[in-house]
Amino acid sequence: MPKLRVCSFSVSLDGHGAGPEQSLDNPLGVGGETLHEWVFPTRTFHKMSGRDGGRTGIDDDYAARGFAGIGAWIMGRNMFGPIRGEWADASWKGWWGDNPPYHCDAFVLTHHPRATIAMEGGTTFHFVTDGIHAALERAMRAANGRDVRLGGGVETIRQYLQAGLIDEMHLAVSPVFLGAGENLFAGLDLPKLGYRRTEHVSSPNATHVVLTKQG
């Protein structure tokens, strides 16, 4: 049965998935880039960035797993771009340029309608204004029997966690403290929501934890 999966989501030791003061020049917030140092050297990230080479090993294995069997994406508006309110700047088409790394239908949660955008490489952005359940329903149809990957940001994942809709979540816990920012787990009782740890593997750069929804 197709799953809704969170893959390669980086968090700090104090539970933050992004730093404070996010902006166009600092999209991950202050200190947020340090959360992702485990993935930057991997072969998978090099390939996403149009480069050759990169490291293999535990970190790359988890990064690569995040793209296997994925037929559609869901993401929050922050993951698509820094624009707030109405879509006044129609030229903005995402952080990744003309050829994003998704290569399938990607559904962006927003309160403001926008026309669908077809990009190079097979990525098509659809803008969903009627909530997380509608986005999941559309993404599952588009995935056509494959899994749906839930991207960031933190608030988007929290909404799906609270609704008990995430089937599997891979977290890469980076060995850093941010001290402030967007906390992924604040106020959430994951055992009560039905989540259990099913994998736990460490590399020199991160601790990889997989949580699975039970029942």
Supply the DSSP string of 123-192, one letter for each residue: -EEEEE-S-HHHHHHHHHHHHTTSEEEE---HHHHHHHHHTT--SEEEEEE-S---SSSEESSTT--HHH
Q: Is residue 24 over pLDDT 80?
A: no
Q: How far apart are CA 67 and CA 95, in angstroms?
A: 18
Give the pLDDT band (50/70/90) at residue 50. Answer: confident
Residue 136: give the domain boundaries: 70-81+97-169
Q: Is residue 91 over pLDDT 90?
A: no
136-195 pLDDT, tens digit per residue, is: 999 999 999 999 999 988 999 999 999 999 999 999 999 999 999 999 999 999 999 999
Q: What is the pLDDT of residue 31?
A: 83
Give the global pTM: 0.93
Q: What is the pLDDT of residue 118?
A: 96
Based on the fold, state whether residues 58 and 123 are members of the same structural domain. no
Question: How many distinct structural domains can be found in the chain?
Answer: 2
Q: What is the pLDDT of residue 90?
A: 79
CATH number at residue 130: 3.40.430.10
Based on the fold, state whether residues 153 and 110 are members of the same structural domain. yes
